[in-house]
Structure 1
Amino acid sequence: MTDRLVTHLETRLEAYLADLASLASIDSGSYDKPGVDAVQTWLGQRLAALGCTIQRLPHDRFGDTLIARIAGSGSGRVLLLGHADTVYPPGTGAARPLRQEGDRLLGPGTCDMKAGLLSGIYALEALLATGSTGFGHLTMLVVPDEEIGERHTIDLLRSEGAAHDIVLTLEAARENGDIVTARKAVAWYCISATGKAAHAGVEPEKGASATVALAHVIVGAAALNGVRPGVTLNIAPIEGGRAPNIVADSAQARVDLRAWTNADLQAAAAALRALLATSPVAGVTISMTLEPGSDCPAMERTAGVARLEHLAGVLAHELGFEVHGAATGGASDISFACQGGTPGLDGLGPVGGLDHSPDEYILRSSIVPRAALLARLIERGASA
């Protein structure tokens, strides 16, 4: 590779690795406000040194949100998206410092997603160092609450996404090197059945079994899998009753519902509600509620996303490697940022895998080429 961005990034690889070791050593679980704030401070200082204006949005319970902005010479508006929180408890950083095994760099939060955050910084540094400032306005938004259901940054994700021309998410690329071009919509529901208790041996006829009613509902719900292409329902956990000799007066089941499009998710949810309209057991009432904070829109593969995917493939080829788009059922913050129609790509950090485990890793050999690809997308993605 002779690309000037690659050349610059190669000279900075050892510094990147030292920075990754520093970031991985900071415990930043979602509920560890001091740790998340420490990551945001570290990132903010580095971005300020590159000429970014820094905004911190404080929170009294969770970590602060970081927003860094810098202007280029072009007109396109680019949003880089990441999160500072991890899933690991305090002490993990000291117990498992960054280490290398072959091409793998292992450490807490390396893949999800401290390496990606670093790639955003180093890509910007490379653009500035080589005079490649064809972007118009670049924003890097780092939220503190991606790993949990208690969200307070969703409205910000939506508004920042709508204010930009493209969204580039710094999560790691898939283990096979794919970037992500589509994500399913998801919603969690709780189905509750309320019946009437009675002695199961003496007078069972006076009861109305919530568990039996729920069992019928579960079978019907499972049949909705594939009601539209890609629609899935997973039903778990299931709870009900108090004892074998009591006709169950209550039962609950949780449902994970996913679909490739928002319209299909709504249609599947409507079909599920219709299934509950008539109770299969006399005397039992059934209800369904959406679990607060559980729903996430789809990242749909629009024409704009397809354009970005094609550009990423062309740019990667110019840099000496191949990249392909992939669809996944997992949710991500890019879905909120792109909800208003802004196109985006996910998985633009280094190649990695085994998130949330002691073996979480990124590939050292992927750091430079993937950061170069990210830099090129920042420069050209909003105007292509």
Structure 2
Amino acid sequence: MTATRTILVSGDPAAPTVAAATALHAARQGRRTLLLAADDPHRTLDAALGVRLDAEPAEYAPGLAVARTDEQAAFRHAFDEIGGRLKPALDLLGAEPLDPEELTALPGTARLALLRALPAVDADVLVVLAPPPADLIATLALPEQLERYLARLVPEQRQAARALRPLLAGLAGVPMPAEWLYEARVKAAGALAAARAAITAPGTSVRLVTAADAHPFEELRRIRAGLALHGHHPDAVVVHGVLPDAATDSPDPWLAALAGRRREELAALGAACDGIPLLTTGPAEATLEAVADRLYGAGPGPEARPAGAWTVEDRLAADGLLVWHLALPGAEREDLDLVRRGDELVVGLGAHRRVLPLPSALRRCNVAGAGLQDGVLAIRFAPDPALWPR
């Protein structure tokens, strides 16, 4: 079974059209494709396709199936997992259980529904109408965050002492955690690992969508930095509503001036994207096929691009330092916040945060300083004389 190529399309209100055109293009090239609407409460993708999407995939075109994530089903699944375990305690308290019809998905369930859907896809290409960029970054970060919480709250090594729990309970005089807690931990860990594997797979990438008149320079810079913090890199930026080249020669001076400004802005955006492919669509494409042809032509479209490498440079002989280089294109010094916490480094970048375990050599060092240059954060570490071998 070949690995699934996953494209997460995120951005402004034109993202549904771009996602649908991207999926249609993949299907026309002979690849089994699934188009999935995630976190789409107003059914914008339904309007772009002209059909009503359901949780069960349905054929839209040869080789192309369409569906939407089922937040209600994801919430009920999570509630059933917890509610069944808590039922004895609730019965003891005299609590009245909730009927399935009463359950309504809570805020944040859309993220869990998407993470649950990604590993289950059986297709050559998966195109997802993803949440807006800020929510998408938070969703991509969620499995790693939850894995960390799970490891702290229910450590895996504690399961080795299961046979001793009755004895420990007698000695301590308090009940030990029940068997179901460890069983639930194993299930949760497996689900998180599967979601994280789908997110970090080499074929998974983000495709950003913006309008030609949106002046998105600063916004795209921050989005790129947030994605890079969590190990992701956009495979392309799609600009829609681009005026045709002929508009610069229009006899209408207003239209010619507008087209000239837009051409300059597009060139500046291409330079700011720093090697990320810039794809454009015009205001006149009336069908999804026309949008797909304009974006991708006869080629396969942009491929997933790995994020910049995070490496440790050995400068002990020259400067007595080890330098950890973190590629964070788009980051700015004013947005950065660094905190050393034991064997971890907490990196804040605007609204985004990530807790990074330090490489083994750096755990025996003290932070000596940091600098940001050309999109690379260099953190300097000096060996701790009390811990470093002589």
Normalised by the size of structure 2, how large is the TM-score? 0.23
Indicate the structure with greater helix content.
2
Query: Greater relative contact order (Cα 8 A, min sep 6): structure 1 or 2?
Result: 1
State the structure with more CA Rg.
Answer: 2
* TM-score, normalised via structure 1 length: 0.23
